[in-house]
Amino acid sequence: MKKLLLLFVAAFCVFAANAQPPKDTAYIRNHYTKMEKYITMRDGKQLFTSIYLPKDQSKKYPILMTRTPYTVSPYGENNYRKSLGQNSLLLEEGFIFVYQDVRGKWMSEGDFVDVRPNIDNKKGKQQVDESSDTYDTIDWLIKNLPNNNGKVGIEGISYPGFYSTASLPNAHPALKAVSPQAPVTDWFIGDDFHHNGALFIMDAFSFITSFGVPRPKPIIPAQFKTAIKFKYADNYKFYLNLGALPNYKKNYFGDSVKFWNDMMAHPNYDSFWKDMNIRPHLKNLTPATMVVGGFFDAEDCFGALHVFDAIEKQNPAAHKNILVMGPWFHGGWESVDIQHFGDQDFGSNTSKWFRENLELPFFKYYLKGEGEMDLPKAAIYISGSNEWKKFSKWPPENSTEKTLYFHANGKLSFDAPTGNENFDEYVSDPNTPVPYQDGVQSHRTREYMLDDQRFAGRRPDVKVYQTDTLTSDITLTGPVVADLFSSISTTDADYVVKLIDVFPDNYPNPTPNPKNVTMAGYEMLVRGEIFRGKFRNSFEKPEPFVPGKITEVKYNLPDVGHTFRKGHRIMIQVQNSWFPLADRNPQQFEDINQAKDSDFQKSTIRIYHDAQNKSSVKVTVLQ
């Protein structure tokens, strides 16, 4: 069980301490003194906190803190971490490093609540949230740690990214700089558990079988013995055989996992999900913010883009808010060297550039008063052309919305269709769903986010539209909006839209080529996203489709930063399942969380592309 939990933590937390070149414990012991403290919150609960103080006491240091549900391990004042901070440059720079088990996790007291809702107007000391716990922790640190300079920064990736975001409302005056990185933000609309109402079943199941199991009392990881066992070699086969969602509780969870029960009881975007959304509370902020994300992050690409956007829209223009988006998987910006990811070569060490030119200067300026604050509003890596671009806003001012229209015979063009009633028809069968990736996988891969899509385009239930060969480069920097006109023979369906870069037929293979990848004609996924059709008008109040009626399904995909080079083509693929990334839609209007195995049925899908029903994808083109 311990091994399962540690594997899970590594996959979902992705701390840089594991990704950076590790210092051995001797280095940390020689330069830092470790202490462990229980810090009392306003309601009397105590949170376990691990503190590393520089031994050089000749100067004062700022505090750099991470609050986490994934354990501050190792425990014991004589047991030291191998690295401090997400960025090894921060360790060398010198900070007081603080790690805290959040309320109700591991060695901290209290009850744990997933993505605990923020309380704006607290009434009494018993009303607490992550903002108040952060405030109380900072207050204790500033008043009790020797040689601190009175300034605090917070960083965190993924779930710790949420705790970073949650520190911002009503922040302690000493909190000067916060970096939410791939922050968990909205578990119904775009992060981890759901995308546009469709349950991301592989991530949800893997997460809940360990993280969702209750802690009987304050414990360390070595004492955790209750993770739910599961094993499979073929994820497609495993989840297809498992069947409808009620079977997960029947076969694995029972009543042991509260969050699964809660999730199944809330199939729509009601107050349960809305209260978990931190974005409406990101107003009147005082700490500077650097929001970091990866365009190819399989877990929380949505979170980075939307936390940045919420801060931009709800705070004065003078508030320092920075967006960084690179060609990274989840937490990849803190990995040693991200020049290659999947089959793509980005031409340089993009993660090293981020750490040296963005992350370190950000914390040095706001916590130490060193250097110049000349960081851009948005630092964006453009894949395809493989270059960093700096913008004064995001999306860039010098960009414009253009529309790629579907046409007959699989054509795609910036020119609108002019003909009458024209459509593509095919059958979507949830019992043979379209796989999210080619081959057989034993787990959800991270490479699917930019992997070759030729396997999907060969299926009859995937419709393909592509442009002629491009005569000049086209760079997309910003939102992507799918706008489909479709009819179905049933009362519900999912829609998956994928934006793809088609390489030329004479594109050379990489050297060396250990995976024997054929790059000629490669179809690189730039962006894909799913949408549960019944939510097309409202996530709060789903509506059935009228069989045979042409219906508009319009939804946002996460932003992109990519250049389609001269000689390439732009492709759009449309399909109605993405399995087992997302759960299957029975294709009839019902509460899918309570569906039966017998409910899944075929649906005849039509995608229209004529003068009246212009199915399209809107993109943001850099001028």
Are 604 and 509 a contacting pair, CB within 8 Å? no
Q: What confidence score (pLDDT) does residue 248 get? A: 97
What stretches of 212-269 show up as alpha helix (H) in DSSP?
A: 235-242, 246-248, 258-264
> Is residue 496 within 8 Å of 574, Cβ to Cβ?
yes
Measured between alpha carbons, how far is 218 from 595 in angstroms, rounded to an integer?
A: 37
* In contact, 602 and 427? CB cutoff 8 Å: yes
Whether 11 has a pLDDT exceeding 80, the answer reads: no
> Rounded to whole angstroms, how far apart are CA atoms 360 and 349?
16
- Is the Cα torsion angle 221, 224, 225, 228 positive or negative in sign? negative
Report, as an integer, the average pLDDT of 191-200.
97
Is the pLDDT at 450 greater than 50? The verdict is yes
Per-residue pLDDT, averaged over 330-338, amounts to 95
Q: Is the pLDDT of residue 132 over 60?
A: yes
Residues 452-475, mean pLDDT to the nearest whole number: 98
Q: How much is the pLDDT for 25?
A: 82
Q: Residue 227: its pLDDT value, please?
A: 82
What gap in Å lies between CA 105 and CA 46, rounded to an integer?
A: 11
pTM listed for this prediction: 0.95
User: 154: which strand partners?
Assistant: 65, 178
Give me 387's structure tokens: 């270059």
Q: Which of 208, 230, 273, 277 is nearest to 12 (CA)?
A: 208
Rounded Cα gap, residues 2 and 222, in angstroms:
6
> What are 49-65's pLDDT values in tens digits?
999 999 999 999 999 99
Residue pair 154/67 in contact (Cβ under 8 Å)? The answer is yes
Instruction: State mean pLDDT over 441-456.
Output: 97
197-250 per-position pLDDT tens digit: 999 999 999 999 999 999 889 999 988 877 898 989 999 999 999 999 999 999
Sheet containing 569-575: order of strands: 463-466, 569-575, 494-502, 523-532
Asked whether 521 and 357 are in contact (CB, 8 A), the reply is no
Q: Which residues pair with 532 in a beta bridge?
A: 494
Closest CA to 468 of 564, 565, 570, 572: 570
Q: Per-residue pLDDT for 21 more than 90?
A: no
* Distance of alpha carbon 45 from alpha carbon 191, whole angstroms: 30
Domains of the chain by residue range:
2-194+275-391, 399-622
CA dist 161 and 86 (Å) reads: 12
Q: What integer pLDDT is reported at residue 20 of this predicted model? A: 52
Cis status, amide bond into 146, omega within 30 of 0: no
Burial class (CB in 10 A: 0-12, 13-18, 19+), 479: middle
Q: What is the pLDDT of residue 225?
A: 77
Q: Which helix (H) or strand (E) holds 367?
A: helix 360-368
Of 617, 552, 611, 554, give the one whose Cα is nearest residue 413.
617
Q: Which CATH superfamily is domain 399-622 in?
A: Galactose-binding domain-like (2.60.120.260)
**pLDDT (0 to 100) of residue 329:** 98
Which sign does the torsion angle of CA 83, 85, 87, 91 carry? negative
Q: What is the pLDDT of residue 72?
A: 97
Spatial contact of 221 and 6, defined as CB atoms under 8 Å apart:
yes
More confident residue, 608 or 8: 608
CB 115 within 8 A of CB 184: yes
Chain-centroid distance, C-alpha 150? 32
Collapsing DSSP to helix, strand or coil, 109 comes out as: coil
Reduce the DSSP state of residue 354 to 3 states and report it.
helix
The CATH fold assigned to 2-194+275-391 is Rossmann fold (3.40.50)
Q: For the segment 378-407, what is each residue's pLDDT rounded down to a tens digit?
A: 999 999 999 999 999 999 999 999 999 999
* Bigger pLDDT: 222 vs 33: 33
pLDDT of residue 449: 98
Residue at token pair 């993505």 = 115
The whole-angstrom separation of Cα 302 and Cα 483 is 19
3-state secondary structure of 293: strand
Dihedral angle, C-alpha 5, 6, 12, 16, nearest 10 °: 160
3-state secondary structure of 315: coil
Q: Which two tokens stand for residue 308?
A: 């940045």
Q: Which residue type sits at 497?
A: V
Whole-angstrom Cα distance, residue 156 to residue 13? 9
Write the CA distances from 134 to 164, 213, 380, 398, 599, integer angstroms. Answer: 9, 25, 30, 39, 47
| Per-residue CA distances from 100 to 71, 104, 564 (Å) | 8, 11, 44
Q: What percent of the chain has pLDDT over 70?
A: 96
